[in-house]
């Protein structure tokens, strides 16, 4: 059975159109998923947990968390700690980060030995509602073992925290939360 | 013919031995050059905005200075960032070792045979001061910013901020130790 050139051309076009639609539909559907992008999140300052974490590390974790959470597009607004706009947010989650372990590394040691001098960070991340109910809790780590500066550990950590939040289903925001 | 082969082998060996030495010398020269170029005036210091400065991408080079009631970061190109000194909650000064030479030297180290790269890595690093700022924006939001300065400049800038009633912590002990050492001499 032979198909004419015109028929085969139409079939190819139709196949491409179906393929494209199959690709685009989930992308748009993802943006309108219930429970996603309805919450706002306020990122609290990092609690060093008395482990003597260098101040630049605490600040870098905080700033990187803000950047990475914006990138996930999981939340309608990502707010800084103390931001007055949080008072008006209808459905608000609070991200609390506590450092559980911290091993300061050395860039020089890494360059010379390759195996030693790794910077290691482990934090406990909690997403809580305004009334303190924990919605999500994860222990996440971020390390720099071979290449890059010590502060890259904070970037890796923030990326892992954001990834953990993105992969976890969040509950639907309760309507009564507004105005509390 | 044999002499030629031996000669070419020797040249190869000599070159292999010379590459690490040349890389090492270049790295040392770059360190010395940086130290010589350090600005004398404490009010304007060369800095790298590691992160946290609004409107400025990470790892941007520029000049950090105290101008009136503002801490100003002026990048080599692009908009200037001003932080009102009154909004600064705290300044922390630390010191850390960092590799010099960036990606080119890292690639050079990786390409150096017989573990020569590790030997270069042993010397191709420099101490930097890190200035960490904590400040609030107009909406009350907490911001953090980290700046990398040449060694010694952090304390100078910190003292200047301290004179404007900003709470500065860290690095002072080192300066005091140096002072006591000088007094003892």
Distance from CA of B122 to the nearest CA of A (A): 6
Cα distance between residue B59 and residue B149, in whole Å: 12
For position A117, what pLDDT does the model report?
86
Q: Tell me the CA distances in angstroms from A125 to A66, A97, B46, B59, one per residue in order.
A: 13, 5, 36, 27
Residues 102-121 of A with CB under 8 A from B: 106-108, 111-114
Sorted by sequence, the CB contacts under 8 Å of residue B146 that are 6+ apart come out as: A56, A59, A60, A151, B49, B50, B51, B52, B130, B131, B132, B133
CATH number at residue B176: 2.30.29.30
B124 token code pair: 């191709």
* Number of domains into which chain B is organized: 1
- Give the chain A residue nearest B53 (alpha carbons): A63
List the single best residue of B57, B58, B95, B96 to mutate versus A (max A Cβ within 10 A).
B96
The distance between the two most distant Cα atoms of chain B, rounded to a whole number of Å, is: 81
Q: How far is the C-alpha of A133 from the C-alpha of B133, rounded, in Å? A: 32
Residue of B nearest to A58 (CA): B144
Q: Quote the domain boundaries for residue B53.
A: 2-184
Q: What is the pLDDT along chain B (185 residues), one digit of tens a residue?
A: 555 555 566 666 665 655 655 555 544 444 444 444 444 445 789 999 999 998 899 999 999 999 999 999 999 888 899 999 999 999 999 998 888 877 788 788 888 888 788 788 778 888 999 999 999 999 999 999 999 999 989 999 999 999 999 999 987 655 555 554 555 45
Smallest Cα distance from A84 to chain B, Å: 6
ipTM: 0.75
Query: What DSSP string runs through B94-122?
Result: EEEEEESSHHHHHHHHHH-TTTHHHHHHH
DSSP assignment, residue B87?
G
Letter string b/e over residues B157-167, b meaning 16 or more CB atoms within 10 A of that residue's CB: bbebbeeeebe
Q: Which residues of B touch A85 (CB under 8 A)?
A: 139
For chain A, residues with pLDDT lower than 70 are 1-9, 11-37, 175-180
Q: Residue holding tokens 């960070």? A: A121
Query: How many contacts (CB atoms, under 8 Å) link A and B?
Result: 83
Distance CA A12, CA A25 (A): 20
What is the CB-side half-sphere exposure of residue A81 using CA atoms within 13 A?
17
pLDDT on residue A31: 40
Angle between the N-to-C axes of helices B2-37 and B102-111, in degrees from 0 to 180, rounded to the nearest 10: 150
Say if B142 is an interface residue toward chain A (CB within 8 Å).
Answer: yes
């Amino acid at each position: 059975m032979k198909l004419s050139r015109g028929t085969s051309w139409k079939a190819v076009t139709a196949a491409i159109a179906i393929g494209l639609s199959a690709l685009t539909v989930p992308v748009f559907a993802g943006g309108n998923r219930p429970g996603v992008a309805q919450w706002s999140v306020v990122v609290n300052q990092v609690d060093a947990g008395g482990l003597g974490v260098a101040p630049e590390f605490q600040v870098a974790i905080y700033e990187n968390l803000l950047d990475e959470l914006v990138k996930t597009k999981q939340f309608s607004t990502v707010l800084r700690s103390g931001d007055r706009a949080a008072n008006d947010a209808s459905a608000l989650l609070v991200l609390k980060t506590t450092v559980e372990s911290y091993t300061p590394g050395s860039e020089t040691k890494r360059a010379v030995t390759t195996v030693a001098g790794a910077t290691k960070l482990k934090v406990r991340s909690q997403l809580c509602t305004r009334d303190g109910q924990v919605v999500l809790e994860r222990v996440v780590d971020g390390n720099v073992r071979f290449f890059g500066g010590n502060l890259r550990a904070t970037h890796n950590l923030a990326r892992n925290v954001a990834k953990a939040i993105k992969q976890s289903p969040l509950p639907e925001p309760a309507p009564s939360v507004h105005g509390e | 013919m044999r002499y030629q082969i031996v000669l070419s082998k020797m040249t190869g060996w000599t070159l292999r031995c010379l590459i690490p030495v040349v890389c090492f010398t270049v790295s040392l020269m770059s360190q010395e050059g940086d130290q010589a170029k350090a600005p004398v005036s404490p009010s304007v210091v060369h800095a790298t905005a590691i992160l946290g400065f609004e409107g400025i991408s990470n790892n941007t080079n520029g000049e950090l200075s105290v101008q009136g009631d503002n801490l100003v970061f002026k990048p080599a190109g692009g908009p200037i960032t001003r932080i009102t000194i009154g909004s600064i909650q705290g300044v922390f000064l630390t010191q850390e070792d960092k590799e010099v030479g960036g990606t080119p030297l890292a690639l050079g180290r990786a390409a150096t045979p017989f573990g020569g790269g590790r030997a270069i890595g042993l010397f191709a690093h420099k101490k930097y001061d890190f200035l960490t700022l904590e400040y609030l924006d107009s909406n009350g939001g907490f911001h953090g910013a980290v700046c990398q300065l040449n060694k010694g400049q952090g304390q100078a800038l910190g003292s200047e901020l301290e004179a404007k009633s900003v709470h500065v912590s860290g690095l002072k002990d080192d300066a005091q130790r140096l002072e006591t050492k000088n007094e003892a001499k």
